[in-house]
Structure formats: C-alpha cells, structure tokens
Structure 1
Amino acid sequence: MSTTSALGYRDDHLHLLACSAARRSVDVSAATSIEELLATVRQAVRRRSAAALAARRQGGAVSAGDASHSWLRVWGYDDALLDERRHPTVAELDSVAAGYPAVLHHITGHVAVVNTAAGRALGLASGDVLVERHDVLAAVPRPDRAATVATVTDVLTELATAGISACTDATHTNDLAALELLAEAAAGAPSVDVTAMVGADRLDSLEDLTFGMTVPGLSAVTDEVGVRIGHAKVMPPHDDDSAIAELVATARACRFPVAIHAMDIDTLQASLDALEAHPPILDTTRSAESERIEPDRIEPDRIEHCALALPEQLDRIARLGVAVVTQPSFVTRRAAKYREQLSATEQSWLWPLASLLRRGITVTLSSDAPTVPPDPSEWIEAATSRTLGPAERIDSQTALRLCQWG
C-alpha cells in the first residue's frame, strides 16, 4: 500500500477478516496459469513438510492443539485471468497437496476448490467447485481468536499507514461475534474508524443492538473505540435473486438501511425492485425548533459494486436516492476479461462512474480488499485513466473527493 496524501481517506467496502486470512494463506495471486499456480502450492507443501520433519527430529510438534495448521489454505487465483480460463480441478489440487486437506480460494472470496482430503473432512460427496458455500467452508478449522485479532489489527495499522482513516467491512457473513472480534482488533488501531455491516439474515444475533450503535473493543479505553454497526448486507444466494426482496424486508423490520451486492444487470434489477417495494426507513425522532418535523432517512441504502448497469437502471437508482459504492480498479485489472467476454455495448455499461455523478447519485470509491489492494492512489488512477469505457472517466479532483473521509 502506498501513502496517497496526508489527508484522510475512506475505504468504504473491504473485508477485514478476509484480509487477515489472506495473510495466512499461500498467495497465488501472481500466477498466470494453472501450472504456475500448482507450482507455487507444491513449493509451499514442500516447505511445510520440511518444517514438520525438522520439528519431529528435534522432538517437538508442529502447532500442537491447533487443527488449523494441519490444513493448507491457498488464496488469490482468478480463473478469468489464468491462461486456461478455468478453475483448477480437484485432481490437480490433489497432485500437489495430497498430504494435506487443502482449500483453494478465488480472489473474490466467493468461490473455492477443495481437494479430496478437505472434501472428505467437510462431508462433501463430490469435487464440485464451491460457489458461495460459506456454510461449508465455515467448518474449516481456523486460528485461535487472539491470532486473528492480532492480524486484523495489523491490517488496520497498514490502512492507517496508507492514509486511510476510516473503513467499512462489507462482509455478508458478519454477525455479533464477528463484530466483537473486529471491535477488539479496532481497539488496537484507534486511528482507523471502523464500521461493519451485518448480514441481513443475521440481524437477530445483535439482540438489543441496532444500526449506528458502537460495539466496543474489550481492551478499549472508552466505549467509543470499537466498531460502528453499519448497513444490513444483502448477498443474493448464487443464481437466486428472488431472495433479495425477503432480505430487504427483514432489514426494514429491524430498521436497518441495506447494502445490496449487485454485479450484473439482473441482480441490479431485482435489487431496485426490492428497494422500491420496501421503501427506506424514515427517522422522525430528531428534534426541530419548529413544531413541524421533517422526516429524514436514517442513512441512504447502498448498491455495492454496480459492475454492470443499464442507463435506465442508473436513472432508477437516482430516483430512489440510493448511493453506490464502487471499485474502479476492477475495470483496469480485469480489462482483458471484459474485452474477451463482453460486447462493445456491454463494455460501455461496465463500472459506471461519470454516468452516476451526472445523475446526482452519491458515489464512494473503495477497494473490496483483499481482492484489490486498499490503495486510494490506484482507485484514483483507475477512475481517471481507464481505457475500457473511457466515457466513464472522471477528473482527478473528483476522484480524490470520492475517496476522502469527513
């Protein structure tokens, strides 16, 4: 990460626990082919085996009592950017990591491949690629809480070094336990203001807590140091946008604004339908000098990503008063994929930015880390000099404003 400015910046969409997990993983994000990816995993397995052998010769044990160390976690591949344009297979992963239960995570965090040993441990009967199967992957052993807290604190400290003063964790599996862990980590890095969303299907875990409240860190000096409870995150189940409306309704019942993950036209359409069917919450509790109280929204709903959108959908976003939190780096990092898979017309609808601003829509730039580094200088560069869909470029001062905090 590079320091962009002495000013404060906000990364309004990232995943702190995923950033922490990526640090503990074999990193294959630089691999350009499956062969190169497998070679990196093979080397990691050899190093691990050598370390285990050395420990045994010294009469010790390797990470005794921590089952997570018997598993191999690999992270960072993108099938669309590999020469083969496909996911690695179970057999290929077995060929280099047969001695360990191994999980290979896609760079987006939404897809994983597990080898035979891991599949057996997780109760899987087949070697299918796991798409949005966080329920299955939750059973993979994890490091102890203290280690995770320390790593998340390190991530937050590096955000501060990069000039980022505030961030929003947009993880759809967040519940109260996750927020408490993040709050404990945030107490160790008080220079970064942390907000964390909660999964719309996990709001009941909050008990008497609600939107806008602070979950304090255990080691915080005051209750103000911790994690602010943010939007209810709506993540449509894979290939099932019909669930969006129900999740939005659940959030409204708990008086939460929503942030909806929308990467394609169909999901965006279902999201806008749901938002229209379940209008934003109004807050009429604030005081006013006059007898007449003007109701106001608790906070605008959000569309996360807005990766592909029709012009008429952008008009509708503006009419509904919905904000968009987007990641301009995707259009530059994945330009080859988009040119290969999308028509010229579809390319013009990719990752809109100037079109959003012309309609008066509130826009914030972000990273989606660990998918893209939390580096504001990269977002600004991508927003101002993109070669794919150049009509969506914005000027540098506007880009700067869209990722500043406060």
Structure 2
Amino acid sequence: MLIQRATTIDGQVVDVRVGALIDEVADTLTARPGEDVFDAAGGTVLPGLHDHHVHLHATAAAEHSIRVGPPRVRDRAGLAATLADAEAGDDGWIRAVGYHDSVAGPLDRDVLDAVLPAVPLRVQHRSGVLWILNSAGLARVGLADHPDGRLRSTESWSDALTRRETNLTDLSDRLSSYGVTGISDATPDLDIVDIVRLEELHRHGDFHQHVHCLAPGKRILHDDDLDLDRLAGFIAQRHRDGGPVAVHCVTAAQLLVTIAALRDAGTRPGDRIEHAAVVPPDCLADLADLAVTVVTQPNFVAERGDQYLDEIPTADHDQLWRVASLLRAGVPVALSTDMPFGDGDPWAAMRAAVHRTTPSGRTLGGHECISARTALTLFQGRPDEPTRPRTVAPGEPADLCLLNVPPVTALAELAATMVAATIVDGKIAYTAR
C-alpha cells in the first residue's frame, strides 16, 4: 500500500509505502502497478496506538453484564431494582459489574441474598479484583459454607465457572476505530492456551490488534495479604525464568511493599508497576532508582475524579494518578485505559492526562498535567518496551493511525473522531470512509 500526502507529527508532508513493515518514507513516491493507494489529503500519520493495560475477555463479557455502579446506580434501592430486573444468561448466572462501595457499602452474601436469593449472582467490584456471590452462586461453585461470599478474582473458585465464549470481533473493530493497533492484556490468570488462542485470532485476521500478554508475570496484591518475602520470591523466580514482572499496585501500601520486593529481588528490563494509583512523594526517587516502568491510567481522573475529591483526604489528592511528577523524577511511564474498568478510548485518556478535569469540571492534581504531545507519545510505545515510542520510519512495523486533520488540530482536539484509517501489518483494519 502507498499512503500519499500524509503529514508527520513534526509537520513534514510525506508519502509512506508499507508492506509487512514500513518500506519507504519520502517526499514523493510513485505508485507501483497493482499497489493500493490511500490519499491522506494532508492528514496526520502516526504510529498506531498501543493500549498498554487492558483486559480483553473481561471487556467482551462486560458487554453482556449488568452495570451496578455509579453513575448508573447510586444507592441501595437502585441496586435492588437493577438486580431484580436482570435476566440470567445462558449459563444460569446473573453477572453484574462496576460495583463501588459508595452505592450500598461493602457487599456480602447476606446483602445479595436479600435482593436476589434464588438465582446465582456474582457482582464484580469496579477494582476488578473482587467478586461477591450470593448463596445460590456460592453453592454453584462449591462454596456453600463460605462465610461472606467475598472472593478474589484470581482464586480457584472461578475454575468452577463455565467460561463464556467471548467474541472479540466487535471489540477489535471498536479498537481499530480508535487507531489502536496493539494492546497488552493484563489478565493475570491467562494460561498458554489462552495466549496462543489470542495470537491465532490475530494471525487469522479475527482480531486486528497485536496482543502482548503480561501473564504469567502479572501479580495482583491485596492490602490484607501483603507478604514481602513471598512477593520478592515471585519476582526472583520470574527473573530466573527469563521474564519480567508486572505488579498491580493501587494503594500506597502495595506500592511500598513492591518497591521493597524489587530492591530485594533486583530488577530486570521490562519490569512494570501497573496503575500506581497512589504514589507518596518519597516513592518517586525509589521508582526512578529502580528504573521500573509505571503503566498508569489518568483517565480515572476524568471518570471518577469527583468521588476522589469527595472521599479521599485533601492532603492525599496530589498523590493520585501521577504522571508529570513521575516523568520529572525520571521514572519511565506509559499510559493505558484499563478497559473495561476504565473507558477504552485512549484519546479520552490523553485528554484526561492533559487537563486533569473531573466529570463536574473540577481539577484534580493540576500539577500532574502533561502536554498533548507527551500524552500521545505515551500511547505509542512498543509492546515489550512501553516507553520506547515507535516512529514513522523505514523498518518500523506497518501499524499506523491516519487522522483526517493536521498535527496542530490533532494535538488540540485529541479525539477519536479524527481517525480516518487504521493500518495493521500493512493492511487497512478500519476506515472512516
């Protein structure tokens, strides 16, 4: 394919010839016989976006789940009404997602039994790490005597569930419309069969995006079970096996233990900290010293910022979803959306990183704002090197995002509606035409 009259982010108008890789970039190239030609008409050409932390199957499953968190559900009466109206799926379960304790407090089996006693029900906390089951659901997974029905996502109880076959085609098309050409799946319990299947879906064209999996190196931490020696042992073993680690840290306690564990076990290229939702000031120098990559989601400021402002002590607001201070400290940073727990539109995440505006229009952590150019670059890293951005140059992967506006407009708007075409492996995966 030959792309003509495209403008690089630096303002140079070029033609770009692509095959499996980018073959040529020049001021003018002549179309070859039989070569497809795409006229960019002066629009911007970018390396395709890479979302560095998502959960593919959870996103597809969420499309068929009941949403029981803010802003759709805000109180106990709304929760009860929503669950009472829900219909069980083909597997006999009602699956609800997005719950937050602000709706009706911490859930347990007794609360759910009072709302829906007869049908197996499982409700996922919006953090993604906790499920709450009613008694009928606990009986279904062989845990009828469980004291409260609060189960961690990665525990073995889920083995008793029949995994719903999720069709990823619609999700892939949606990602293509955003200009996304690759994703990193952060699901911790993917096995080799799951990983190979995702690779095969891409190879056969059923899932356009390149897929990089963090499993088996992903580890989720819980504040009530922080074991420094166990985490350091996991990191050391993973390094001996030749792979990096990715540690889920959403609280200050989790981050402090992870920093200590990385100091004990040592680091290697590719080690990551996922989320870093809370970073105390003293941790900035530690993270820089360890040279561990932080993959974070400032989109949560735009999605949940009002709750943070109302529920978290004012003194801690500066520690939430840092970006600029991490970069200033020399910490390697990449951005992601954490879809489906966050909105999957990377352009919205970029806008959040630039403006730090909550849903009500307030500002949260204004000193953490970054430039539009920086926000865009942090979505253009390589799968295994998130902080090394790809470029539009010969020899680079032929994974491109073409916009219908020039660079100045693109950086001012940062909107998915600008995407004119998405090219993966030298082939068009999406066109707005």
Q: CA deviation at 1:133?
A: 4.6
Cα RMSD for the two superposed structures: 2.2
The one-letter code sitting in structure 2 at the alignment partner of 1:390 is G
Deviation, 1:190, is 5.0
CA distance in structure 1 between the partners assigned to 2:364 and 2:149 by the alignment: 30
Find the residue that maps to 1:11 and give its secondary structure: strand
Are 2:212 and 1:195 equivalent residues in the alignment? yes
Task: Measure the CA separation in 2 of the matches of 1:378 and 1:140.
Answer: 37
Q: 2:138 aligns to what? A: 119
- Residue range with higher mean Cα deviation, 87-96 or 161-170: 87-96
- 1:157–1:189 CA contact under 8 A, matched in 2: no
Q: TM-score, normalised by structure 1?
A: 0.74
CA distance in structure 1 between the aligned counterparts of 2:145 and 2:128, rounded to whole angstroms = 22
Matches of 2:117 and 2:249 in 1, distance apart? 37
Seen in structure 2, the aligned counterparts of structure 1 residues 239 and 96 have a Cα distance that, compared at 3 Å, is closer
- Structure 2 distance, partners of 1:106, 1:164, is 27
* Moved segments of 4+, more than 4 Å: none
Please show how residues 58-97 of structure 1 align to structure 2 within 5 Å.
Answer: 69-80=91-102, 82=103, 84=104, 86-97=105-116
Counterpart amino acid of residue 374 in structure 2: T
1:238-253 map, 5 Å = 238-242=223-227, 243-253=230-240
Q: How much does 1:91 deviate?
A: 3.9
CA distance in 2, matches of 1:37, 1:177: 37
Post-superposition offset of 1:303: 1.0
Q: For residues 156 and 148 of structure 2, what CA distance do their matches in structure 1 show?
A: 12
User: How far off is 1:334 after superposition?
Assistant: 2.3
Aligned pairs, how many?
Answer: 326
**Secondary structure of the equivalent of 2:118?**
coil
3-state SS of the aligned residue for 1:157? helix
SS at match of 1:167: strand
Give 1:234's match in structure 2, choosing from 196, 210, 219. Answer: 219
CA offsets, 1:198-228, max 9 Å, x none?
13xxxxxxxxxxxxxxxxxxxxxxxxxxxxx
Q: Does 1:134 align with 2:119?
A: no
Counterparts of 1:313 and 1:377, CA distance in 2? 28
| Inter-CA distance 96–269: structure 2 relative to 1 (3 Å threshold) | closer
Q: Are 1:167 and 1:193, in contact at CA under 8 Å, matched by a contact in 2?
A: yes
Kindly indicate whether the alpha-carbon contact (under 8 Å) linking 1:153 and 1:185 is maintained by their aligned counterparts in 2. no
Partner of 2:289: 319
Task: Identify the match of residue 26 of structure 1 among 66, 76, 100.
Answer: 66
Give, in whole Å, the separation in 2 of the partners of 1:190 and 1:113: 32
Aligned to 1:206: none
Partner of 1:221: none
Secondary structure in structure 2 of the residue aligned to 1:155: helix
The structure showing larger relative contact order (alpha-carbon pairs under 8 Å, at least 6 residues apart) is: 2
User: What is the distance in 2 between the residues matched to 1:20 and 1:181?
Assistant: 15
Shift of 1:325: 0.3
Deviation of 1:366 (Å): 0.6
- Alpha carbons of structure 1 residues 238 and 129: separation in structure 2 relative to 1, 3 Å: farther
Using structure 2 for the length normalisation, give the TM-score.
0.70
Equivalent residue for 2:365, pick from 372, 382, 389: 389
Partner in structure 2 of residue 183 of structure 1: 199
Deviation at 1:143, TM superposition (A): 4.4
**Alignment partner of 1:254 is 2:276:** no
Contact 2:120–2:136 (Cα < 8 Å) also in 1: yes
Amino acid at match of 2:49: Y
Decide which structure has greater helix share. 1
CA distance in 1, matches of 2:225, 2:110: 29
Aligned pair in 2 of structure 1 residues 319, 238: CA closer, same or farther (>3 Å)? closer
Contact 1:383 1:399 in 2 (8 A): yes
| Equivalent AA in structure 1 for residue 54 of structure 2 | L
What is the CA-CA distance between 1:13 and the residue it aligns to?
Answer: 0.4
Partner of 2:57: 17
Given residue 198 of structure 1, which amino acid in structure 2 is its aligned partner?
A: A
Shift of residue 328, structure 1, vs aligned partner: 0.2
Deviation, structure 1 residue 157? 2.6
Give distance in 1, aligned partners of 2:207 and 2:306: 40
Instruction: Give 1:366's aligned residue.
Output: 336
* 1:39 alignment counterpart: 81
| Structure 1 residue 247: Cα displacement | 1.2
Cα pair 2:267 2:290 within 8 Å, conserved: no
Alpha-carbon distance, 1:95 to partner: 4.2
Counterpart of 2:306 in 1: which secondary structure? helix
The answer on whether the counterparts of 1:89 and 1:113 sit within 8 Å (CA) in structure 2 is: yes
Q: Is contact 2:249–2:255 with CA below 8 Å preserved after alignment?
A: yes
Higher percent of residues as strand:
2
Task: From the superposition, tell whether residues 397 and 15 of structure 1 become closer, same or farther in structure 2 (CA, over 3 Å).
Answer: same
CA distance in 2, matches of 1:91, 1:328: 35
Aligned to 1:273: 260
**Aligned partners of 1:324 and 1:364 also within 8 Å:** yes
Q: Which secondary structure does the structure 2 equivalent of 1:260 belong to?
A: strand
Task: Describe the SS at the equivalent of 1:93.
Answer: helix
1:313 & 1:129 partners in 2: Cα distance?
A: 35
Can you give the 5+ residue segments of structure 1 that lack an aligned partner in the other structure?
Answer: 49-62, 200-231, 282-298
Q: Deviations over 1:176-213 (max 9, x none)?
A: 122133234334445311101113xxxxxxxxxxxxxx
After superposition, give the CA deviation of every residue in 1:225-276 in whole Å (9 maximum; x if it has no partner).
xxxxxxx112225522213212111211201111111112221111112212
Provide the rounded CA distance (Å) in 1 between the counterparts of 2:112 and 2:45.
Answer: 45
CA distance in 1, matches of 2:198, 2:234: 24
* Residues 301 and 6 of structure 1: CA distance in aligned 2, closer, same or farther (over 3 Å): same
C-alpha separation between the residues in 2 aligned to 1:342 and 1:393? 20
Give the letter aligned to residue 38 of structure 1.
A
Residue 198 of structure 1: SS of its match in structure 2? coil
Q: Is residue 244–residue 271 contact of structure 1 (8 Å, CA) maintained in 2?
A: yes
